[in-house]
Amino acid sequence: MTEDTTEERRCIQRILTTQEGKPPFWLLVGQARIGLRDLSLEGFAAPGSPGLEPGRPFAFGIEWEGEAGTVSGEAEVVNLLGAGSGQVGCRILAFAEDGRERLHRWLAAHVLACAAVPVSAEEAAEIVSGPCIV
């Protein structure tokens, strides 16, 4: 039997970010701007990019389309699916300044705007910081 190396590592709910086929959240790494596939307070997934290798911490920024400012910090690749331009799963190691609080606000607003069923602002915030249910 082989060990499954793709098990879920995040304890906090991951939020799918693509809207109408377009990513509203962007990962900034070096000169690259990469559309995020999902995002949580613990990490994110994105298409693979040269220079993002497992075990090598890297500086990142995250932008939300239409919002001022950037969430920045340090992350590392913990999962790589597919060769070359596959998908990378990254764990956030540290946030700069108020990055965690800003990302929480952004994700709660995103959940509130995209929820398939009515949710309150308080419920959206609880979803963002709550346990992984997917």
62 belongs to a structural domain: yes
Residue 48 lies in a domain: yes
What total number of domains does the chain contain? 1
Q: Is residue 2 part of a domain?
A: no
Residue 85 has a pLDDT of: 67
74 C-beta neighbours (distance < 10 Å), count: 13
pLDDT at 134: 55
CA separation (Å) from 86 to 33, 46, 49, 50? 16, 9, 8, 11
pLDDT of residue 86: 82
Which residues form the domain of 58? Answer: 15-129
What whole-number distance in Å separates Cα of residue 44 and Cα of residue 104? Answer: 13
With respect to residue 27, please indicate whether it lies within any of the assigned structural domains.
Answer: yes
Q: Is-contact 77 89, C-beta < 8 A?
A: yes
pLDDT at site 1: 32
Q: Is residue 9 part of a domain?
A: no
pLDDT at 104 over 50: yes
Write out the H or E segment, with its range, that includes residue 122: helix 121-129
To which residue do tokens 């075990």 refer? 55
Q: What are the tens digits of pLDDT across the range 2-59?
A: 333 445 455 778 898 887 888 999 999 999 999 999 999 999 999 887 778 888 899 9
pLDDT digits (tens, 9 = 90+) for 109-131: 999 999 999 999 999 999 999 88
pLDDT tens sequence across 68-95: 999 999 999 998 887 666 889 999 999 9
Residue 73 confidence (pLDDT): 98
Checking 71-77 for CB contacts under 8 A at 24+ apart, the result is: 71/95, 71/99, 71/102, 71/103, 71/106, 72/96, 72/97, 72/99, 73/99, 75/43, 75/44, 77/52, 77/53
Per the model's pLDDT, the better-predicted residue between 85 and 107 turns out to be 107
Who wins on pLDDT, 64 or 133?
Answer: 64
Classify residue 105 by burial, with Cβ atoms within 10 Å: 0-12, 13-18, 19+: middle
Q: Does 5 reside within a domain?
A: no
134 belongs to a structural domain: no
At 79, which CATH number? 2.40.10.220
Q: Is residue 57 part of a domain?
A: yes
